[in-house]
Amino acid sequence: MFSRSVVLSFLAVGLAVSSPDVAAVTLDWDVPTNTWTNANNGSPIPNSYDVDGVAGNDLTITISGQVSKLRTEPVSGTQTPAVMSTLQGGMGGEKSLHIYANVGTKSEITVSVSFSATYVQGVENVSFTLFDIDKTTDSEFIRNIYGIALDGTLIPATFSNLGSAVALTGSGLTSLLTGIAASPDGSSNGNVTISFGTNVIKGFAFTFDNSQGPPRTQEFGLHDISFTPVPEINPALSAVGSCLMAISLVFHHRSRVRSRRK
């Protein structure tokens, strides 16, 4: 007969099957298909990437703000944004999404990443590293850094692996990264890793700008982006679990009725 422990066993099996461990996913710029495309006039358009092994795009990167300030990166001769390995963050040949711009005071270029709506439960463990946040004549700043929760709430980031050319001031949503020294192109001195940890988000954004001063050419790289989709409860398996529970309750009820008749 179906005892309470049998019912609990069915439920445990159902939950285990319907909540599989979901592996981390990475947008890796070294994968040849992960390229960046600009409009014919050179201005950036949103670019989407399919990286989780399931057909369909998983994240979209949009670059907005004063995009007229974007320039050709002189080492490669390529109009940015572009995927290249001029900046390597001390990782020896790693590519990044390179932003090279002629920015002056209050020139802001914002990078926004939105994860696919097919991740209905959002994503977690979002993490990425910026390369070459540094200072030549003027400091480079990264500000307005936030994740976006499923309900639209803004989530502060956490910062780690700060290179010696980067200073972190402020906290929470007003955290500010400032380039305080020059970092060579291949160096990790201008690195900072930005993470949202166990916060479930559907996107994130940050803004790059210049300190006060005349326009100067400045640059940084957005390295690989990793994230873990939050698993959905499988509706089919939930239905099976409910059926099994209903059947077991019927049996349990009958057995009690029978035992009362004895």
CB proximity list for 38: less than 8 A, separation 6 or greater:
44, 45, 79, 81, 82
CB 210 within 8 A of CB 143: no
Interface positions with Ca ion (CB under 5 A): 28, 30, 50, 52, 54, 56, 58, 94, 132, 134, 219-220, 224
Beta strands 108-115 and 123-131, pairing class: unpaired
CB 55, min distance to Ca ion, A? 6
CB 10, min distance to Ca ion, A? 33
CB proximity list for 8: less than 8 A, separation 6 or greater:
none
CB 124, min distance to Ca ion, A? 17
DSSP-derived secondary structure letter, 121: T
CB 37, min distance to Ca ion, A? 18
Distance CA 99, CA 70 (A): 7
Distance CA 210, CA 219 (A): 10
CB 251, min distance to Ca ion, A? 43
Do you know the residue count of the chain?
262
CB 83, min distance to Ca ion, A? 10
Closer to Ca ion by Cβ: residue 59 or 155: 59
Closer to Ca ion by Cβ: residue 138 or 224: 224
CB proximity list for 166: less than 8 A, separation 6 or greater:
133, 134, 177, 178, 179, 180, 189, 190, 191, 192
Q: What is the dihedral of CA 232, 206, 69, 103, to 10 degrees?
A: -170
CA 218 to chain centre: 24
Closer to Ca ion by Cβ: residue 104 or 156: 104
CB proximity list for 169: less than 8 A, separation 6 or greater:
175, 176, 178
Closer to Ca ion by Cβ: residue 124 or 134: 134
Closer to Ca ion by Cβ: residue 84 or 155: 84
Closer to Ca ion by Cβ: residue 50 or 108: 50
CB 166, min distance to Ca ion, A? 10
CB 121 within 8 A of CB 199: no
Helix (H) or strand (E) holding 236: helix 235-261
Closer to Ca ion by Cβ: residue 209 or 219: 219
